[in-house]
Structure 1
C-alpha cells in the first residue's frame, strides 16, 4: 500500500532530497544596500533553514531589472560573494536554497536602476506607484525592448543561474509571476508587440519559456523552477483569457525535467493546477494563505507536492517546528517588512528550548 504523503515527510525535488515539504516563499525585504547580499541576510535565511527548501527574495540578473529600493542582484562578483554567505548559512544548518531570478521590467523607477531606462515588451506604463526615499512615485514609462535586447535579457537569466550556482545555491526559480517582466510579456494589456514575441498566446509565452530554457541549459533543468500567478492582476496586469494565455505556458514548460512549478494559488480563473498535473509531470508547489490543515489536505490529496508559506515565515524562523507542534505563531510586524535593520527581520523569537 502506498503511504499517504505528509507535510513533514521527505520529498524529492529535481536533483535534491528535502527533509520536509514546507517551503519558505520568496519575499522582498529590501535589506541589501548597494544591491549587495550581506551578513544580516545570511543570518535571516540561516534562521529559516529548517524549511524543506528556502526560496530567496527576488534577485535581479541585470542592472535594469532592479525596480525596488535595496533589492539584491546576481550580476557582479561582489553579489556572487554576498550570496555565497547566504548559501553557506543555510547549508550549515542542513537546509536547501534556491535563488529567485526576478527582472521587474516596467515596475521600476529610474533612480533604482543607475539612471537606466526601465524596459518592457512595449512602451506601456503600469498604473500605480512605488515607494522611494522621497515618497511614493508613479512607475516610469518603459522603453520597448528590441529583438537583440530581448536576447540579451534571456542570456542574463542564464548567466544569473550560473552565478547562483557559483555562489553555492542549489538552484534557481524563474519569477514568472506578479506582473514582472515575464508576466508583462504574457499579458495582452502590457504586450502590444506584433513580432514573434507578441500577439498570439503562443508568442506571448515565448519569452518566459526562452528564459527558462536558457537557465536550464546553463545549470541543468533539475535545478530550475518556475513561479506563476495565473489571473493575478497585481502590477496592472489585465488578461481577459487566462486559460488561453496559460495553456501554452504550461505546455511549453512541460516535459523538460524542470525541478518544479510554483503557483500563487489565489483563486485562478481556471483549473490551472489540474492542467499542470496532467501536463507537467513534475513537482507542484502551491502558495497563498495556507495554514497547517489546508496544507496537509492538499499534500495528502495529491493536489500539491510542497506548500510555500510567506508572511508566517517572516515572523517564525522555526515555522516547521511550530506547525509540527501546533504551537502559536508570532504575528508579523508589517511596518518592518521592507527596509530597515535587524528589527522585524532577525529578532523574532524561536520556541523556547
Structure 2
C-alpha cells in the first residue's frame, strides 16, 4: 500500500504539521542531576526534528511526581532552562515539540521524596511488580497513601504550573499523560480507585480529576495547545476497569467538548504488551471504538508499520500515527519511510539509561552512505 498519506500536512490545534509521522513519548532515563535536561537530550530530540510532531518523554510535574531514575522534570527553574535548550535545538531544525507531563502516583517510591514520604494514589492499593528507587535499585512497590480530597486541588494546580512552565520553556504545546497506569489513569479506573468521595465510584466521579486538570490547563495556555493521552483497555501497573468501553465513551465525549489540539490513543497491543491474557483486551481496537466520539484530530500509537499506519489514516480511524521504537532506532525515520529505506534495528539493551550509546549514535542514511 502507498504511504503517501503520511506525508500530507495536517493541523492539530495551533500546530501545523508537515507530515503525519509522530514521535511519541519514549522513556529514556537520561536526564541530568535534579531531573535537568542536558545537551545530550537536546541532541537526541533535534536529531528527530523531521517528525511531524515530536513529543517528549513523560516529564514529572513535581518532586512527588517522579517515578524512575534520571527522569526529567518541569517543576524547577533549572529544568525549565534545560528544556529551553532542547526546544531551541528542535526549532532550529524546523521541528515542533510538545511536552508530555505526568504524575507517577502509586508507581513512584518514597526514595524520590526528600522527606521519605510514601507515594500517593487515589486509594491505598499496592500495585503489582517492582519499582525503581532513586538509586536505581529494584524493590517491591510500596503501599501508597490515599490522597485526601482536600489535596486534589493542589494536584490540579501542580499540573497547571507544569504546563505553564512548559510554555515558558518554549514548547509548542502540552500533552497530559492520562494513560499507562500513572496517577490520572489510576483515578480513571475502578480497579485502582476505591474512593467514596466525589472522585470515586461513578464513571463521572472517577473522570473528575482528569477533566479538572484539562480545564485548568486549557484556561492557562489555551485548548488549541493542549492534548491528552489515554490507554483504554491498558493494564500496565495492574490497572483494570469493570466497564472500560462505557467509561471511556464518557471520558472521550467530555474531552471532545473541550476542543483540544488532539487526542492521543494507545492501542492495547502496546500498553498491555506481554501481560494481557484477556482475549477482549487483545482484540480491542481503540481507534475503531472511540474515534467517532472525538470531534478533533486523533493520534494513534501501538505497533504500527508505515503501511498499517497509512491504512489507519486512510480509513479515517486516525489523523496521524506515532512510531515509538522505530524512532528510537531511526532518527531519520521520516526520510527512511519516504525512501522505503531499510530501518536500523532497535537495541533494547541500551533503551533505558546510560549515555550516547543507543541514544544519539544510531546511524542516519547519510552517515551510512558516507561509510560505504
Normalising by the residue count of structure 1, what TM-score does the alignment of the two structures yield?
Answer: 0.96
Distance 2:71 2:168 in 1: 20
Distance 1:344 1:271 in 2: 32
Give the CA deviation at 1:5: 7.9
Distance 1:5 1:61 in 2: 38
What SS does the aligned partner of 1:57 have? coil
What SS does the aligned partner of 1:65 have? coil
Contact 1:11 1:20 in 2 (8 A): yes
Give the CA deviation at 1:207: 0.9
2:192 corresponds to which of 186, 190, 193: 190
1:349 corresponds to which of 354, 360, 363: 363
Aligned-pair Cα RMSD in Å: 1.5
Distance 1:261 1:54 in 2: 15
What SS does the aligned partner of 1:161 have? helix
What SS does the aligned partner of 1:243 have? helix
Counterpart for residue 37 of structure 1: 37
**Counterpart mapping for 1:306-345 below 5 A:** 306-345=320-359
Q: Does 1:18 align with 2:11?
A: no
Q: Does 1:277 align with 2:283?
A: no
The CA deviation string for residues 134-176 of structure 1, in whole angstroms up to 9 with x for no partner, is 6321112111111221110101111111100000000110101
1:206 corresponds to which of 205, 208, 220: 208
Contact 2:67 2:132 in 1 (8 A): no
Distance 1:207 1:180 in 2: 13
The CA deviation string for residues 10-57 of structure 1, in whole angstroms up to 9 with x for no partner, is 100100111100100101111113211111100000000000000000
Give the CA deviation at 1:336: 1.1
Contact 2:49 2:95 in 1 (8 A): yes
Distance 1:140 1:35 in 2: 23
**Counterpart mapping for 1:109-258 below 5 A:** 109-114=109-114, 115-132=116-133, 133=135, 135-258=137-260
Contact 2:54 2:97 in 1 (8 A): yes
Distance 1:277 1:134 in 2: 39
Q: Does 1:65 align with 2:65?
A: yes
Give the CA deviation at 1:212: 1.1
Contact 1:158 1:211 in 2 (8 A): yes
Distance 2:330 2:136 in 1: 32
Contact 1:26 1:58 in 2 (8 A): yes
Give the CA deviation at 1:131: 3.1
Distance 1:302 1:134 in 2: 43
Contact 2:129 2:140 in 1 (8 A): yes
Distance 1:249 1:179 in 2: 16
Give the CA deviation at 1:266: 2.6
Distance 2:328 2:289 in 1: 31
Distance 1:5 1:149, change over 3 A: farther
**Counterpart mapping for 1:97-108 below 5 A:** 97-108=97-108
Counterpart for residue 6 of structure 2: 7
Corresponding pairs, count:
350
Contact 1:65 1:113 in 2 (8 A): no
Unaligned runs of at least 5 residues, structure 2: 270-280
Normalising by the residue count of structure 2, what TM-score does the alignment of the two structures yield?
Answer: 0.91
Contact 2:291 2:318 in 1 (8 A): no
Distance 1:41 1:271 in 2: 34
Distance 1:181 1:38 in 2: 27
What SS does the aligned partner of 1:27 have? coil
